[in-house]
């Protein structure tokens, strides 16, 4: 892959704002994120919650805020590498090569780490053949609803993700069974009551114990969590929604100065490695606040310093965007 001016690790609000700022400064950018969707925790953890402390928004739904960050962040054409994790950082000349778990080699001049709490990985059920059926019957998220058209789905979990997908897929799935290990739910009460009154078949007090099929999933064995009785459920897909685990993971091995699981930075958001910056929840310095409001400023500052590192003749101050002709679509005239 081509060398970019800046690689941004983490496609949450800070990473997306860094991508926007890179574009504003005429820099090419690439975003790497372990999740299939951009937006970080806004999208993955609390899409339906209101956020009240983003400058200029008295109140905004997290999913709408994420949509705005994505539109703003991608307008200059940042490349996306999703569902992959940056695993190695190798110094090459004046820049770096980032290697990913999927085997990509991504050259970059500078790096902005905005990895939040670290790479998010969906929790696996932990049963035999789970990896074998990954993406051919077992899914840890829904990227494309149409792939489940007419299919018999087993959705596992009792949290908001499981209930949201029951509601979202009901119109296109052939049938849906919700498999949950008890009869108490973490999901919003309103979602629970909607699903209870829908066509979804609630299999409570059950856990998935076995996967069946030859190359393609054909069914699962469910075990009653109290009586231990088993039964077979024919299905085409298991959608697992049993939470996420986050960890700094391989970033910890890159030689960065780490303090309590965070990356130490100076007032320019530079780490101890040349050309490597860290912003947002993943970085630490005296007086650090973990807020989207402050993270956006950190993104702008880090990218402007990265710009002057790549081009020593460039000014640190980016200028005022209101005086620039960005040619970006006016959100007020968006057709959506
Ligand atoms: P979650 O709230 O952590 O729920 C995970 C569910 O999976 C729980 O019901 C849990 O059961 C079950 N579970 C965990 N480990 C399991 C295992 N090994 N086998 C079987 N079941 C297991 O996860 P989530 O639904 O992905 O949500 C994550 C966060 O994002 C939450 O804070 C949620 O509110 C938020 N979120 C919000 C929205 C929304 O606002 N619409 C949408 C998506 C996510 P137990 O209850 O028995 O532990």
CA of 289 to the centre of ligand 1 (A): 27
Confidence class for position 233, pLDDT limits 50, 70, 90 = very high
Residues 110 and 128 occupy one common structural domain:
no
Where among 240, 262, 280 does a domain terminate? Answer: 240
Residue 283 lies in a domain: yes
Q: Are both 153 and 186 inside the same structural domain?
A: yes
Q: Exposed, middle or buried: residue 306 (CB in 10 Å: 0-12, 13-18, 19+)?
A: buried
CATH value at residue 281: 3.50.50.60
Asked whether residue 330 is assigned to any structural domain, the reply reads: no
Rounded to whole angstroms, the Cα distance separating 259 from 286 reads 12
Q: How far apart are CA 37 and CA 293, in angstroms?
A: 22
Note the pLDDT of residue 336. 41
In a domain, 220, yes or no: yes
CA distance 185 to 293: 32
Question: Are 236 and 248 contained in the same domain?
Answer: no
Residue 232 and residue 252 in one domain:
no
Sign of CA dihedral 325, 330, 333, 334: positive
Task: Compute the distance from residue 160 Cα to the ligand 1 centre, in Å.
Answer: 6
Say if 329 falls within a structural domain.
no
Whole-angstrom distance, CA of residue 10 vs CA of residue 34: 8
Q: Identify whether 113 is part of a domain.
A: yes
Q: pLDDT band at residue 330, thresholds of 50, 70 and 90?
A: low
163 CA from centroid of ligand 1 (Å): 9
pLDDT at 335: 40
Domain that holds residue 27: 4-120+244-323
Q: What is the mean pLDDT of residues 104-125?
A: 94
User: Do 81 and 133 have their domain in common?
Assistant: no
Shared-domain flag, residues 91 and 169? no
Per-chain mean pLDDT for the chain: 94
Q: Specify the residue for token string 């994420």.
A: 66
pLDDT digits (tens, 9 = 90+) for 206-216: 999 999 999 89
What residue's CA is closest to ligand 1, atom 18?
A: 125
Find, among 12, 48, 100, the residue nearest to 281 by Cα. 12
Distance 249 CA to ligand 1 centre (A): 22
How far is it, in rounded angstroms, from Cα 82 to Cα 135?
Answer: 15
Residue nearest to atom 32 of ligand 1 (CA): 45
Judgement on whether residues 232 and 319 belong to the same structural domain of the protein: no
- Average pLDDT value for residue range 304-331: 87
Considering the domain architecture, whether residues 50 and 131 belong to the same structural domain is answered as no
Burial class (CB in 10 A: 0-12, 13-18, 19+), 229: exposed
- What is the distance in A from the centroid of ligand 1 to the CA of 145? 20
Query: Are 71 and 137 in the same domain?
Result: no
Residue 312 sits in the same domain as residue 207: no
The DSSP bridge partners found for residue 211 are 220
How remote is the CA of residue 177 from the centroid of ligand 1, in Å?
A: 17
The pocket around ligand 1, CB under 6 angstroms, is made up of: 45-49, 123, 125, 157-162, 164, 181-182, 186, 207, 241-243
pLDDT tens track for 167-193:
999 999 999 999 999 999 999 999 999
Q: Which residue has the tokens 């504003």?
A: 24
Residue to mutate, 66, 160, 168, ligand 1, most ligand atoms under 8 Å from C-beta: 160
Mark which of 170, 205, 240 sits at the end of a domain. Answer: 240
CA 158, distance to chain mean position in Å, is: 21
Domain boundary among 240, 269, 299: 240
Residue 227 CB-density burial (10 A; 0-12 exposed, 13-18 middle, 19+ buried): exposed
Residue 92, pLDDT score: 97
pLDDT at position 331 = 52
In terms of C-beta density within 10 A (0-12 exposed, 13-18 middle, 19 or more buried), how is residue 120 classed? buried
Asked whether residue 207 falls in the same domain as residue 264, the answer is: no
Of 310 and 48, the structure prediction assigns the larger pLDDT to 310
pLDDT in tens, 21-45: 999 999 999 999 998 899 999 998 8
Residue owning the nearest CA to atom 5 of ligand 1 = 242
State residue 333's pLDDT score.
46
Express each pLDDT in 265-311 by its tens digit.
999 999 999 999 999 999 999 999 999 999 999 999 999 999 999 99
Q: Please give the pLDDT value at position 328.
A: 54
pLDDT digits (tens, 9 = 90+) for 139-167: 988 877 899 999 999 999 999 999 999 99
Residue 78 forms part of a structural domain: yes
- pLDDT for the residue 334: 43
- Indicate which atom in ligand 1 lies nearest the CA of residue 48: 40
Residues 23 and 54 in one domain: yes
For residue 55, the model assigns a pLDDT of 95
135 domain residue, yes or no: yes
Counting the structural domains of the chain, the total is 2
| Residue 286 maps to a domain | yes
Q: What is the mean pLDDT of residues 103-111?
A: 98
Q: What percent of the chain has pLDDT over 70?
A: 97
pTM for the full predicted model: 0.75
* Residue having the nearest C-alpha atom to atom 40 of ligand 1: 48
């Amino acid at each position: 892959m081509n060398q970019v001016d800046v690689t941004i690790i983490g496609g949450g609000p800070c990473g997306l704002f860094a991508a926007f700022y890179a574009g504003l400064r005429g820099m090419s950018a690439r975003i790497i994120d372990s999740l299939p969707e951009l937006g970080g925790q806004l999208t993955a953890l609390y899409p339906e919650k209101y956020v009240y402390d983003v400058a200029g928004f008295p109140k905004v739904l997290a999913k709408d805020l994420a949509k705005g960050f994505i539109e703003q962040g991608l307008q200059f054409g940042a490349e996306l590498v999703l569902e992959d994790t940056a695993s190695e950082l190798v110094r090459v000349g004046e820049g770096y090569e980032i290697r990913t778990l999927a085997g990509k080699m991504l050259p970059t001049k500078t790096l902005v780490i905005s990895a939040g709490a670290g790479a998010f990985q969906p929790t696996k059920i932990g049963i035999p053949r789970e990896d074998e059926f990954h993406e051919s019957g077992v899914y840890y998220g829904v990227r494309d609803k149409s792939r489940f058209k007419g299919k018999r789905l087993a959705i596992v979990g009792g949290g908001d993700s499981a209930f949201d997908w029951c509601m979202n897929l009901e119109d296109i799935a052939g049938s849906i069974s919700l498999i949950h290990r008890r009869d108490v739910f973490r999901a919003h009460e309103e979602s629970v009551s909607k699903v209870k009154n829908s066509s979804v078949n609630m299999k409570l007090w059950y856990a998935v114990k076995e996967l069946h099929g030859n190359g393609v999933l054909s069914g699962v064995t469910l075990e009653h969590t109290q009586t231990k009785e088993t039964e077979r459920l024919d299905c085409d897909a298991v959608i697992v929604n049993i939470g996420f685990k986050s960890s700094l993971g391989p970033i910890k091995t890159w030689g960065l100065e780490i303090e309590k699981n965070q990356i130490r930075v100076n007032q320019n958001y530079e780490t101890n490695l040349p050309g490597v910056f860290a912003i947002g929840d993943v970085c630490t310095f005296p007086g650090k606040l973990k807020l989207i409001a402050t993270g956006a400023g950190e993104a702008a500052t880090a990218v402007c310093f990265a710009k002057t590192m790549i081009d020593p003749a460039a000014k640190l101050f980016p200028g005022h965007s209101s005086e620039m002709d960005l040619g970006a679509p006016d959100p007020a005239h968006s057709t959506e």
